[in-house]
Structure 1
Amino acid sequence: MAKSKSPGGRRTGNPAAGAKPQMAAAASASTVAVDAPTPKVRTSPAQFAGQVRAEARKIVWPSRKETWITSVMVFIMVLIASIFFWIVDAGLGFASRFILAIGQ
């Protein structure tokens, strides 16, 4: 477990003794100030289009090989999930038929 540090980077107090009493009193006497929300600046359509283009340039498209591998992995996982649910469905169907057959 990492030891907490003061903002100056130096450790304060005795770690075995816990926090100092004056620090606890100062913490309980402090108040929390909430800043007023800043008004939103409207963006012109030209600026918006420029920002969209700038973000679009950051996109890294997967290669054909990465797309193929990912698609195969998705297909394998779908196959495994479908087999799992088929087995669970068959087991629950068998169990429900067995329980209903007891009552007849």
Structure 2
Amino acid sequence: MAKAKTPSGRRPQTAQPAIAGSAVAADAPAPKKRTSIPQFASQVRAEGRKIVWPSRKETWITSVMVFLMVLIATVFFAIVDFGLTRLSQFVLALGQ
């Protein structure tokens, strides 16, 4: 069975198990670099510019679809609830 490939087409490198007594210093994570507040704010603004907001039409269509799915789920669960209620009443009536 073939392993899944990464988007670049190469297989991901797998970590080798550590051998007891060997040095693990090479696997230690590098210390994290701190970001200054102005640099952080700049990065936040840059990420904010990448956001693609849905149009009014897309928002309307999505809202209608959510409403329809809620309506369908409501009807489905009402029917199932009614059926299970009648079935349990029937089973309990048999015991009397």
Q: Report the TM-score when normalising by structure 2.
A: 0.72
Gaps of at least 5 residues in structure 1 are 3-30
The letter of the residue matching 1:50 is: S
Partner Cα separation in structure 2 for residue 94 and residue 39 of structure 1: 65
1:69 alignment counterpart = 61
Q: Which has the larger radius of gyration?
A: 1
Partner Cα separation in structure 1 for residue 38 and residue 86 of structure 2: 64
1:82 alignment counterpart = 74
| 1:100 is aligned to 2:92 | yes
- CA RMSD in angstroms comes to 2.0
Partner Cα separation in structure 2 for residue 103 and residue 35 of structure 1: 69
The letter of the residue matching 1:82 is: T
1:47, distance to aligned residue in structure 2 (A): 1.1
1:35, distance to aligned residue in structure 2 (A): 2.5
Gaps of at least 5 residues in structure 2 are 3-14, 19-25
1:45 alignment counterpart = 37
Partner Cα separation in structure 1 for residue 61 and residue 88 of structure 2: 40
| Equivalent residue for 1:60, pick from 39, 52, 55 | 52
Number of aligned residue pairs = 76
Residues 7-49 of structure 1: per-residue CA shift (max 9 Å, x gap): xxxxxxxxxxxxxxxxxxxxxxxx9386320111111111111
Map 1:8-19 to 2 at 5 A: none
| Equivalent residue for 2:28, pick from 33, 36, 45 | 36
Partner Cα separation in structure 2 for residue 75 and residue 63 of structure 1: 18
Q: Higher relative contact order at CA 8 Å, sep ≥6: structure 1 or structure 2?
A: 2
Q: Report the TM-score when normalising by structure 1.
A: 0.66
